[in-house]
Structure 1
Amino acid sequence: MTATPGQPDSPSVPRAHRPGRPASSRTPGRPLRDALTLMALPLVAALALPAAFAGGGTRRWFGGRAENQRAEAQAAKDAAAAAFYELDTAQRDLRISIETITAVDDSPAARRAVADFDALGRRIDEVSHRYIDAVDAHDLDRDDLEASAASRARAELTAAREELGRVKQELDRFTDGLGPLLGKAETQLARLAPAVERARQALLAASDALDSVRASGLRADDLAARLAALSPELTRLNQGAGQHGVPQTLERAERVSREAEAVRVEAERLPDRAAEIDHRLVSLRTRAQALTTRSEQVEPTLSELRRRFTAACWQDLQHVPDSAAENVRRAEAKLAEAQTARGAQRWADATALLSTVRALLNSTDEAVSAAGDRLHRLNAVQKDPQQEIDRTRFAIRDAQRLAMAGRNTPDPRHARPLDDAVARLDRAVAGLEGRHPDYWHFLTETEAVRRAVAGVVSAIREERGAGH
């Protein structure tokens, strides 16, 4: 739809230039511009024309009936023009809503809405053509307008107004149905500008943090490369959603914000990270030296174990001196590599190497400690095995009391493993008899018995807890 006849503020556009209306349908004779101008003539002026004639005008007088029909036709024409204008305004507003939806949403529902709007637009064009044809077909200002012609004009213009009104109702129903789609689109559009601005600010903050770090003497080449990789994304953000789409621009802005923020955080942490790596280098180097000293004590410990206890008590520790020395040697080599990476400011490499050094030293520490701990425990049980026996029997009796709580007879699922634990402990105690008892076997057996008993206790408590 285009300019609206009968509206004072609407431009008078020749019909031949109106989009969507074929020029071949124009009525020859007086231009439509005159018709549109006369449509704006107030009804009072039209009714006053007989008085003007009486005062010396040129219009012929045809009697009261013809003038009444002319006035009614003019009123119908004005009402049709108002309906046309109202429909045109509603269509323009709806087109803005459709354009908002299509800018954001490419879902099937949005595509259906666009197709339905196009179909409705064709329907609007049809009734608009019929309205314009009705206006062009009747010159209500003719001096010799007959009553019958005015009556036909009134009927056709009234029918055009009613048809325009029906289409306006269809348009209103369609507009109401667009509510969810339009609300979603407007929400995304409202998020767009702030999201893009956040992305720009995040990039600026990351750049400032990187400049500050470099000013302190740290290169941060990897962070600079990550920030440089975001430059094309900033270019796309600046090109706007019109070129790349609203959903894509929103996603890009949020991703740029996240990545730029990560660069900023890492850049601000970099001085602390460098200091932490320096501290770990010193700490791990000191620990490696201490482990070297401690590992030298493993061999005397093994010698005492060999001299005082059976082979089963120490055979699994035979490899400790050699493996400890090898692990310390490898740890020191990795420390040297980490120092080189730190000097080159390859922070990730330095951190990974220091983690490897720590793992090597942890395993060495455990192995070296195991030899001394073995000797200590064997000395204790050799001196007084009864303490270990009593500890294990107490665990068994405690589990037996729990199994009998509230029962006359224990549940076989609990009684059987507890009976097995008693028998296993008795066998372990019996193994201490003889000239060269295997104390390590005794210790591992009592530990295994206590673990089995703890499992029974845990099962009983879980079952009773579930029962409550």
Structure 2
Amino acid sequence: MTTGRAASRLARDLTVSVVLAPAALAAFALVAAPVAFTGGGTRRWGRGRAEESRARAQQAKDAAAAAFYELDTAQRDLRITLETVSAAEETPETRRANAGFATLGEQVDQVSHDYITTLDAHDLDAEELEAGAANRAQRELARVTDALVRLKGDLERFEQSLTPLVARAQEQLAQVAPAVERAKAALLAATEALDGARRSGLGADELAARLAGLGPELRALNEGAGRHGVRPTIQRAERVRRQAEAIAADAARLPERAAEIDRRLTSLRTRAEAISNRADAVGPVLSELRRRFMANCWQDLQRVPEQAEEAVREAGEALAAARGERRAQRFEAATGQLARAHELLGSADEAVSAAGERLRRLNEIAGDPSGEIERTRFAVRDAQRLAMRGRTVPDPRHAGPLDAAVTRLERAVTELEEGGRNPDYWRFLTELEGVRETAGSVVEAIRAGR
């Protein structure tokens, strides 16, 4: 707020007023005392008036210097307060507060300029200083002092208006240190967990890379909220803590994860061998289907042996890749390959099972279709009873699908009976499944409506 020249002059003036003034007054008393007895009355009176005016002007100068120092201190304190508030949160309130402080700062600069100009205009140490000049200096310094004191009061009142903002800022600032400490503690725990995994013979390169990736975040935390803001610092600390805790947990699970991958490798290899053996039996099943049933009952199963063989082969490749990733301790990649092998073996198992299940169902329906027919009729009648519950006339939305289902059922039974020695049993089974699905859909719609 002050220039280097003004600060030097202020320090000199304070020294003169506080240290040298008493000595100068004492010297003046010793010199002036004889004059009182030598008869120079007019000269003594004039010099006395000038010295009294100089002393009053010097007191006014000291008061102005003190007021200037207090105003400067109040402005610095208020600036620190606003910096703290702005760091804690960026809101319309803080922007208005900064704008208000800028306006007050302009007033402080103007008053400070007036103060320095007044000091430069009056040399109270000059020997030829007259009483009139000293009185003018006293008046102007008193005016400047009043302006300094008044503006200091404005600053204090402005600071009091910031109390709610300061309280919120202090509350947020109180969260910074604990949040940062939690983040650093989590990073330390992650480092120790990683070291433990390596001591057990696991490379943990993926986890080490993830931990190294948190280095820039840690540097930002060390730079503090003053540079990055309170709320962003708290959020960064929480993010670092969560990620570090996840790394520590993954490092602690590494031995168990490695053992689990080994178990899955063994299990899937055994399953692949079993499916391959079962696939060899699909050929005879297809032969029986072709011999005993019409083409529509088995045509969709023709490629099951080839499909199962291809799936088992691809699953074997995936398992080999998983073993390689396991040896390299790339557990994520190994887990992905195991998932692919599991999916391939599942599709192969389903295809192989479908052939045997088809033969079983066709044998059952060929021996006695009545059980399948009764099960389907019961499903339709149950849906009809539910549709009529509490009603004299069924809802058309329910009656229409159920009537169509009855017609479909009777048509399927008729076709089966008229099919001769080799009817289309598979069409009959799929038609009855469709009828049961229709009845089930009506039941769900009725219950949902109620």
Task: Report the TM-score range of the alignment, normalised by the length of the smaller protein.
Answer: 0.7 to 0.9
Taking the aligned partners of 2:91 and 2:337, their CA distance within structure 1 comes to 50
Pairwise mapping of residues 141-160 of structure 1 onto structure 2 (< 5 A)?
Answer: none
Contact between 2:380 and 2:405, CA under 8 Å: does it hold in 1?
Answer: yes
Q: Are the structure 2 counterparts of residues 71 and 394 from structure 1 closer, same or farther at C-alpha, using a change threshold of 3 Å?
A: farther
Equivalent residue for 1:325? Answer: 309
Deviation of 1:419 after TM superposition, in Å, equals 0.9
Structure 1, 253-262 or 409-418: larger mean CA deviation? 253-262
Report how far residue 369 of structure 1 moved.
Answer: 1.2
**TM-score by structure 2 length?**
0.78
* 1:292 aligned counterpart, secondary structure: helix
Encode CA deviations 1:81-110: one digit per residue, 9 max, x unaligned.
886666444323212112324555566765
What corresponds to 2:26 in structure 1?
none
TM-score (norm 1): 0.75
Give the Cα–Cα distance (whole angstroms) in 2 for the partners of residues 86 and 235 of structure 1. 39
Taking structure 1 as reference, are residues 346 and 138 closer, same or farther at Cα in structure 2, changes over 3 Å only? Answer: closer
Give, as a single letter, the amino acid of the residue that structure 2 aligns with 1:33: L
Find the counterpart in structure 2 of residue 439 from structure 1: 425
* Match for residue 181 of structure 2 among 184, 197, 213: 197
Q: C-alpha displacement at 1:186, in angstroms?
A: 3.7
Structure 1 stretch 85-94 or stretch 272-281: which is displaced more?
85-94
Are 1:18 and 2:2 an aligned pair? no
TM-superposed CA distance for 1:418, in Å, is 1.2
Identity fraction in percent: 56
Residue identity opposite 2:224 in structure 1: A
Matched pairs, number: 430
| Residue of 252, 259, 262 corresponding to 1:278 | 262
Counterpart contact for 2:6–2:116, Cα < 8 Å: no
Alignment of 1:21-100 (within 5 A): 32-33=13-14, 37=18, 87-100=71-84
Distance 1:265 1:134, change over 3 A: same
Q: 1:58–1:402: structure 2 CA closer, same or farther, 3 Å change rule? A: farther
Aligned partner (choices 429, 432, 456) of residue 413 of structure 2: 429
The code of the aligned residue for 2:155 comes to: L
Report the CA distance between 1:427 and its aligned residue: 0.7
Please tell me whether the aligned partners of residues 322 and 334 of structure 2 are also in contact (alpha carbons under 8 angstroms).
yes
In the alignment, which residue of structure 1 is the partner of 2:443?
457
Assess if the C-alpha contact under 8 Å between 2:61 and 2:138 holds in 1: yes
Q: Which of 396, 406, 418 does residue 412 from structure 1 map onto?
A: 396
Distance 1:272 1:172 in 2: 64
| Partner Cα separation in structure 2 for residue 329 and residue 396 of structure 1 | 45
Alpha-carbon displacement from aligned partner over 1:42-67 (angstroms, at most 9, x marks no partner): xxxxxxxxxx9xxx9999999xxxxx
Alignment partners' CA distance in 1, 2:111 and 2:205: 68
Partner amino acid for 1:92? Answer: R
Question: CA shift at 1:463, angstroms?
Answer: 1.9
Between structures 1 and 2, the one with greater helix share:
2
Quick check: 1:124 aligned with 2:108?
A: yes
Give the Å deviation of 1:408. Answer: 2.0
Corresponding residue for 1:7? none
**CA offset at residue 441 of structure 1?**
1.0
> 2:224 aligned with 1:241, yes or no?
yes
Query: What is the match of residue 215 of structure 1?
Result: 199
Deviation at 1:16, TM superposition (A): 4.3
CA deviation after TM superposition for structure 1 residue 210, in Å = 1.7
Q: Rate the CA distance shift 1:296–1:57 in 2: closer, same or farther, 3 A.
A: farther
Q: Give the deviation of 1:319 after TM superposition.
A: 1.1
Q: 2:329 — aligned with what?
A: 345
Alignment-mate amino acid for residue 99 of structure 1: E
* Distance change >3 Å, CA 425–CA 160, structure 1 → 2: same
Distance across 1 between alignment mates of 2:445 and 2:352: 36
Q: Could you report, residue by residue, the CA deviation over 1:419-456 in whole angstroms, capped at 9, with x for unpaired residues?
A: 11111111111111131221211111111111112212
Aligned-partner SS, 1:408: coil
Find the aligned partners of 1:83 and 1:201 in 2 and give their Cα distance.
Answer: 49
Q: CA deviation at 1:279?
A: 0.3
3-state DSSP of counterpart to 2:286: helix
> How far, CA to CA, are the matches of 1:236 and 1:15 in structure 2?
37
1:299 aligns with 2:314: no
- Quick one: which of 141, 151, 168 aligns to 1:167? 151
After superposition, the Cα gap between the structure-2 partners of 1:87 and 1:316, relative to the gap in structure 1 and judged at 3 Å, is same
Letter in structure 1 aligned against 2:196: S
Report the equivalent of 2:25.
none
Aligned to 2:39: none
The one of 312, 315, 325 aligned to 2:296: 312
2:416 match: secondary structure:
coil
CA distance in 2, matches of 1:259, 1:458: 46
Q: Return closer, same or farther for 1:320/1:242 CA change in 2, 3 Å cut-off.
A: closer
- 1:431 aligned counterpart, secondary structure: helix
Asked if the contact 2:67/2:145 (under 8 Å) is kept, the reply is yes
Paired amino acid for 2:364? A
Rounded to whole Å, the distance in 1 between the matches of 2:398 and 2:290 is 41
CA RMSD of aligned residues (A): 4.4
Deviates more, 1:216-225 or 1:241-250: 241-250
Question: What is aligned with 2:273?
Answer: 289
Unaligned segments of structure 1, at least 5 residues = 3-13, 42-51, 63-68
Aligned residue in 2 for 1:66:
none
Quickly say closer, same or farther: Cα 1:231–1:185, change in 2 above 3 A: same
Cα distance change on mapping 1:345 and 1:138 into 2, 3 Å: closer
* Contact persistence 1:192–1:246 (CA under 8 A): no
Q: Secondary structure at the match of 2:203?
A: coil
Matched, 1:379 2:360: no
2:434 is equivalent to residue 448 of structure 1: yes
Kept in 1, the 8 Å contact 2:17–2:62? The answer is no
Per-residue deviation at 1:283? 0.5
